[in-house]
Amino acid sequence: MTATLSAPTSAPTRTRPRRTWVGALIGVALVVLAAASLFIGVSDVSPTALVEGGADSDAAFLLVASRIPRTVAVLLVGASLGIAGLILQMLVRNKFVEPGTTGVTEFATLGMLVAILLWPGMAMMGKMGIAALFGLIGTWVFMRVIRAVPVRQLVLVPLVGIMLGGIVGAVTTFFAYRLDLLQSLSQWAQGSFATIMAGRYEYVWVAGVMVVVAWIAADRFSVIGLGEDFATNLGLDYRRVVGIGMVVVAVITAAVLVTAGMIPFLGLVVPNIVSLIIGDNVRRSIPWVAGLGALFVIACDILARVIRFPYEIPLSVIVGVIGAGLFLWLLLRKGSRAH
């Protein structure tokens, strides 16, 4: 039987006004930061420049070709990674999993390497498909391994996933090293939005579609979180819903990987914080997770751009520091029943 973090499944009504405030705050911050994201960068793209220059100025061109795609990509990646973490947590019934702590990300990376090796000329969409396929295999392998471990200790599950990821990662590194692909591998696995342009970011919409799918199936995932017997008794086709969940997670992971690279801990931290705020009802928490995930990533991305202006720091580094710090806090929190 899995233990869960001591999150109230239905918060008392007294906290409701406060919750609305928090939600409103997230919404406002999201709009403000997204607008700011359009105007931050080395070239001058400011509202005044846009008004003076008109539609065919450099500023307008930059806005359409680089700033808008980047902002959209950041928002979509943040939202969909949060959702991927949430779905995975429901599937595995464990609070501490996300694509990065289950080996899914590493499997998808291996798929990417295989695609680059076997069909170098393949379109990006095809490579992403292969990465997603490998991610799906990774999800399946992880769930098999978890089922094979008799003791279902809460923290043992992500540990096993991280090790699985480490082993797959070692295989990937080894082949990349032998085939002189190490540099290009680390190039695009490093999480960053610096190279995003129109024509190179559209794959991330696939992740957006997956968010919609997750939203439609939200209630089913809630029920899945109660366990197989319970779900079957309620008349749910357990295996099919789990299958849908696995596909959603794998596709989101692959789409994020080809557009932005690896972004650690996001899918883990965001759903946990949302669960602390509003509880564990998936239908209610999906917009929260998407909003908070997007907010988190856009804040980090703006930080990555301004902290050492005019140079950029890779986003994954900043998310790594903040995300790992939050994860540690979740693990060592007083009163968390994570043992």
Partner 1 sequence: MRTDLAPRHSDATPAEGGRGIRARAASAWARPGLRLAALAVVVVVLIALYLFTAVPGSLAFALKIRSASVVAMVVVAVAVGVSTVVFHTITQNRILTPSIMGFDAFYLLISTVIVFTLGSTAFLRTDPVVLWLVQVAVMVAFSVFLFTWLFGGKRRSIHLMLLVGIVLGTFFRSFTEWMQRMLDPLDFQVLTDTAFASLTRPDETLLLLTGILVLLGCLAVVPLLNTLDVLTLGEPAAVGLGVNHKRVIMALFAIVSVMVAASTALVGPILFFGLIVANLAYSYAGTFRHRWALPTAALLGVLCLVGGQLLLERVFAFGASLSIVIEFAGGLFFLYLVLRKGAR
The least distance separating partner 1 from the CB of residue 6, rounded to whole angstroms, comes to 15
* Smallest distance from partner 1 to CB 333, Å: 11
- Work out how close the CB of 197 gets to partner 1 at its nearest, in angstroms, rounded to a whole number: 22
Question: Which residue in 87, 62, 65, 79 sits closest to 139, CA to CA?
Answer: 87
C-beta of 69 vs 323, nearer to partner 1: 323
Interface ranges with partner 1 (CB under 8 A): 96, 149-151, 153, 155-156, 158-160, 162-164, 166-167, 170-171, 173-174, 177, 264-265, 307-308, 311, 313-314, 316-321, 324-325, 327-328, 331-332, 338-339
H or E element that contains 235:
none
CA–CA dist 59, 5 (Å, integer) = 49
Residue closer to partner 1, measured from CB, 78 or 320: 320
For the four alpha carbons of 155, 156, 161 and 166, in that order, the dihedral sign comes to positive
State the Cα angle at 142 between 235 and 221, rounded to 5°. Answer: 30
Considering the complex, what minimum distance in angstroms separates the CB of residue 177 from partner 1?
A: 6
Cβ-based nearer residue to partner 1, 95 or 127: 95
Instruction: Count Cβ neighbours within 10 Å for each residue of 34-68 and write b for 16 or more, e otherwise.
Output: beebbebbeeebeeebbeeeeeeeebeebbeebbe
CB of 255 to partner 1, least distance (A): 23
Q: Which is nearer to partner 1, 28 or 163 (CB)?
A: 163
Nearer to partner 1, 112 or 319 (CB): 319
> Using an 8 Å Cβ cutoff, are 41 and 67 in contact?
yes
Cβ at position 265, least distance to partner 1 in Å = 8
Which one, 96 or 238, has the nearer CB to partner 1? 96
Whether 335 contacts 6, CB under 8 Å: yes
Are residues 86 and 286 in contact, defined by beta-carbon separation less than 8 angstroms? yes
Q: What tokens does 114 get?
A: 């295989």
Q: Which two tokens stand for residue 242?
A: 């789990």
- As a whole number of angstroms, the distance between CA 304 and CA 308 comes to 8
Minimum separation from the CB atom of position 330 to partner 1 (A): 10
Specify the residue, 176 or 218, whose C-beta has the smaller distance to partner 1. Answer: 176
